[in-house]
Amino acid sequence: MRYDIAILGGAIMGSSAAYFLKTLAPSASVCVVEPDSTYEFCSTLRSSGGVRVLFSCPENIEMSKFGRTFIRRFPQDMAVSSREAPVDWVEGGYLFIVPPRGMALLEANFEEQMRHQCEVELLMPAQLKERFPSMYVDDLGGGVHSLRDGWCDPHGLLQGFRRKAISLGVEYIEDRVAALSVAGKEVREANLESGSSISADAFVNATGAWSAQLCAMVDMPLPVVPLRRFEHYFTAGNPIERLPYVKDVDRMAFRSEGVGFSGGLVNSDEPRGFNFEVDHDYFERVVWPAAAHRFPPLEAAKCHRTWSGLYEQCELDGNPIIGNWKGRLENFFVVTGFSGHGMMHAPAAGRAIAELIVHGAFQTLDLTRLGYDRVVRGAAYPEAGIL
């Protein structure tokens, strides 16, 4: 089989890249190799769907702004045969809260977000209390409330991208990449588990937590590893106001969902690796004490469901890696390492990869600093907004 462009991995990143490639180059032949059309273990379907501009790096802020606008218009823009693509966008806002020691960083990030015309408000503890009466604020320095942020249904987003891409002529191949063959400075073929193979002019590695495995097939070092985290659905047990997506410095993060809440608390020390086992005591042991401290009505919270998923964690700096290995593997593009932000950044990242392949350079948003070059140099470009 021969294509102009072969995308490896067909969840949110691969499907977004496929859609933008067909938009920029309608006559290009594009295939997506995805082993599991149910997407059982992919991170996309395990995501909590948050979309926020609360970052420090201009690239991340701008990718979120593009993603947010894109998602708002997604149902209509991604309609196929006048059938809309619902994503259940909720503009519930985001709220980052910090203790006094976190204020200098929060304020610096706030200034950066203001420079990018984000609708953000810096709130002192008394203002936080006024707006969210259930919140315990005595140990807080303040917070930033981002009014136009929110969350959506990751399943709807993935299926919408996939359906639209297929309607534009993209071919999804249900198979797994088993090996990649290189000749000179180019990947020539992807050999699939079924025994067939695909040749293409360009390849995109969009396999998320599995992306280092594919890079290893072409001897390309990639500092991206699987990091398990839990997501919980819980109800309050006591009356509490509707909350935005609340996030604190200890990586507790949750938002309203239906009559309850969805969220968790990332354990940064979690051993890296492919592990989907669920620790059913984690909520009670770790999440509940933190949530109940911040919102005393959650003292009576009840966890109904816990699931696990993998971050494709970039160990270099927590930022994505978008691009090729210049001078070594010119036609092999990676789009991975989003470290917990891949759903919101998928529209911008898919567009960026399409621009790199079709035009040979970023056109709309300059993501050069997120390229593979920094991996080669070992030069971290960290995000300071993940408080």
Query: For ligand FAD, which stretch binds (CB under 6 A), given 116-124, 163-171, 333-341, 375-383?
Result: 333-341
Residue 91 within binding range of ligand FAD, rule CB under 6 A: no
Query: For ligand FAD, which stretch binds (CB under 6 A), given 3-11, 124-132, 283-291, 369-377?
Result: 3-11
Q: What is the CA radius of gyration of the chain?
A: 21
Residue 50 within binding range of ligand FAD, rule CB under 6 A: yes
Residue 49 within binding range of ligand FAD, rule CB under 6 A: yes
Query: What character string, x for contact with ligand FAD (CB under 6 A) and - otherwise, covers 188-227?
Result: ------------------xxxxx-----------------
- Outline where DSSP puts E strands in the chain: 2-8, 30-33, 50-51, 94-98, 120-123, 142-146, 150-151, 171-173, 177-183, 186-192, 197-205, 224-235, 245-248, 252-257, 260-265, 302-314, 321-325, 329-336
Query: What character string, x for contact with ligand FAD (CB under 6 A) and - otherwise, covers 59-88?
Result: ------------------------------
Distance CA 16, CA 158 (A): 8
Which residue's Cβ has the minimum distance to ligand FAD? 342
Residue 42 within binding range of ligand FAD, rule CB under 6 A: yes
Q: Which residues from 148-187 bind ligand FAD, rule CB under 6 A?
A: 176-177
Write the Ramachandran bin of 258: left for phi over 0, alpha for psi from -120 to 50, otherwise beta. Answer: left
First to last CA, the chain: 47
User: Closest approach of Cβ 280 to ligand FAD, in Å?
Assistant: 16
**Which tokens belong to 269?**
């020390």
User: Closest approach of Cβ 83 to ligand FAD, in Å?
Assistant: 23
Query: For ligand FAD, which stretch binds (CB under 6 A), given 105-113, 270-278, 305-313, 326-334?
Result: 305-313
Write the Ramachandran bin of 60: left for phi over 0, alpha for psi from -120 to 50, otherwise beta. Answer: alpha
Distance CA 236, CA 196 (A): 52
Contacts with ligand FAD by CB under 6 A lie at 8-14, 33-36, 39, 42-44, 46-50, 176-177, 206-210, 229, 231, 309-312, 336, 338, 340-344
